[in-house]
């Protein structure tokens, strides 16, 4: 019997996570899978008609839905309404068009930063809806949380196995290094490289905003991509799953800065500007569920992932999102 061809459409396929999936799939091709990666130039997913056209063109059987309006702290704070409305539109268009086209599986992307602000740690998959998110990004957070609501309702009403993944902070090649948009690692990388490009660094100071003490979990985009491919091929549940490094791999912002300094071979001094806000001290997420299902998964050591990302950035600086 001929094997059934899966057609896997990846929305947000041109971004940090989408590009990482492209890289992983290059080395892990299967004859029964056809992968299609699309970005906003292929279809504006906040438009229903664009979304329908895209699905008509590619006829996917599976969807990895990564596309989202994303941004840094200040962009979120100033635009909570837009973050809510645009992400709700994108998610509703993708999920409902997938349903109408009989797509058998959709994996959508939530984030550990959408959890309640006041919560006990470590956070786990059962806590998404337990309280108000941090006020800085409540628009983004509620729109993301609604994906989980929609997934449950598509199951209840139509028996669909549409699920969601919850990554911690992601970094890697093809990240967004624009100061207004960037997360902590690409933000610090961009600032440090700007200093390095001015020449001899021995008398230079790399200023890191905040005390350097907050703890964060970072997942390398290529590790996340491998896990997403595993979810596609082997995880059959509507219930969300946290895709994060272990709790023991949490690092301080100071450690992040030190790894970057090593990777760039910066010879100057690091200083912490404690007058700047630190944000939450920690947001530890538990990957117990993932570890039960995939105990042997090896995450790339943090220093190696930082080194590879820095090498990529130096080589691709001209074409990076700066
Ligand atoms: P990027 O900013 O790197 O990529 C975003 C992607 O979404 C791009 O491919 C972009 O297309 C696409 N996109 C944005 N708006 C639209 C639109 N209106 N129509 C169609 N496509 C659109 O993001 P990441 O790769 O970092 O994020 C991927 C997912 O992971 C998101 O859902 C995000 O919320 C989630 N996430 C990310 C984390 C992180 O630390 N980065 C942490 C946890 C979750 P184009 O570039 O072509 O314009």
pLDDT tens track for 255-268? 999 999 999 999 99
The per-type count for the chain, helices as H runs and strands as E runs, is: 10, 12
- Is 46 a pocket residue for ligand 1 (Cβ < 6 Å)? yes
Enumerate the active-site residues. 140
Alpha-carbon span 123 to 119, nearest angstrom: 7
Alpha-carbon span 238 to 153, nearest angstrom: 10
Global ipTM? 0.99
Q: What is the dihedral of CA 154, 158, 161, 165, to 10 degrees?
A: 0
Which of 9, 17, 165, 184 should be mutated for ligand 1, with most atoms under 8 A from CB? 17
For residue 231, give the 3-state DSSP assignment: helix
> Measuring CA to CA, how many Å separate 202 from each of 193, 199, 205, 255, 268?
14, 9, 9, 20, 4
Give, using CA atoms, the residue closest to atom 6 of ligand 1: 12
Alpha-carbon span 30 to 9, nearest angstrom: 15
CA of 231 to the centre of ligand 1 (A): 19
pLDDT score recorded for residue 53: 98
For 190-194, 197-201, 270-274, 275-279, which range has the lowest pLDDT when averaged over its residues? 275-279
* HEC profile of 270-303: EEEECCCCCCCCCCCECCHHHHHHCCCCCCCCHH
- Is 108 a pocket residue for ligand 1 (Cβ < 6 Å)? no
pLDDT tens track for 93-150? 999 999 999 999 999 999 999 999 999 999 999 999 999 999 989 999 999 999 999 9
Alpha-carbon span 279 to 259, nearest angstrom: 21
> Measuring CA to CA, how many Å separate 316 from each of 57, 170, 195, 321?
32, 19, 17, 10
pLDDT tens track for 30-88? 999 999 999 999 999 999 999 999 999 999 999 999 999 998 878 888 999 999 999 99
pLDDT score recorded for residue 291: 98
118's CB contacts (< 8 A; 6+ apart) are 131, 132
CA of 67 to the centre of ligand 1 (A): 4
- Is 109 a pocket residue for ligand 1 (Cβ < 6 Å)? yes
Q: How confident is the model at residue 252 (pLDDT cuts 50, 70, 90)?
A: very high
- Is 68 a pocket residue for ligand 1 (Cβ < 6 Å)? yes
Task: Check the CA dihedral 110-111-112-114 and report its sign.
Answer: negative
> Closest by alpha carbon to 39, among 21, 66, 20, 62?
66
Task: Check the CA dihedral 133-134-138-143 and report its sign.
Answer: negative
CA of 272 to the centre of ligand 1 (A): 30
- Is 170 a pocket residue for ligand 1 (Cβ < 6 Å)? yes
């Amino acid at each position: 019997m001929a094997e059934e061809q899966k057609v896997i459409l990846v929305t947000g396929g041109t971004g940090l996570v989408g590009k990482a999936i492209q890289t992983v799939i290059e080395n892990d091709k299967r004859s029964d899978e056809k992968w299609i990666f699309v970005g906003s130039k292929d279809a504006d997913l906040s438009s229903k008609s664009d979304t329908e056209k895209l699905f008509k063109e590619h006829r996917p059987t599976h969807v990895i839905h990564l596309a989202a309006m994303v941004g840094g702290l200040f962009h979120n704070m100033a635009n909570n309404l837009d973050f809510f409305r645009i992400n709700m539109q994108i998610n509703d268009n993708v999920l409902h068009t997938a349903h109408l086209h009989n797509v058998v599986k959709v994996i959508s992307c939530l984030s550990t930063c959408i959890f309640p602000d006041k919560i006990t740690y470590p956070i786990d998959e059962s806590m998404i809806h337990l309280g108000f998110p941090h006020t800085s990004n409540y628009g983004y957070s509620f729109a993301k949380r609604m994906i989980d609501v929609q997934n449950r309702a598509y199951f209840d009403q139509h028996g669909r196995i549409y699920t969601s993944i919850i990554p911690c902070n992601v970094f890697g090649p093809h990240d967004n290094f624009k100061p207004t948009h960037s997360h902590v690692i690409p933000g610090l990388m961009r600032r440090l490289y700007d200093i390095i490009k001015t020449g001899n660094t021995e008398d230079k100071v790399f200023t890191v905003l905040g005390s350097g003490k907050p703890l964060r979990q970072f997942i390398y985009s290529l590790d996340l991509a491998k896990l997403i491919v595993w979810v596609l091929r082997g995880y059959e549940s509507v219930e969300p799953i946290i895709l994060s490094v272990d709790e023991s791999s949490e690092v301080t912002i100071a450690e992040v800065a030190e790894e970057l300094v090593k990777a760039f071979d910066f010879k100057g001094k690091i200083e912490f500007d404690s007058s700047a806000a630190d944000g939450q001290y920690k947001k530890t997420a538990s990957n117990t569920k993932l570890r039960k299902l995939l105990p042997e998964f090896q995450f790339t050591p943090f220093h190696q992932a930082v080194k590879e990302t820095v090498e990529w950035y130096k080589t691709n600086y001209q074409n990076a999102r700066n």
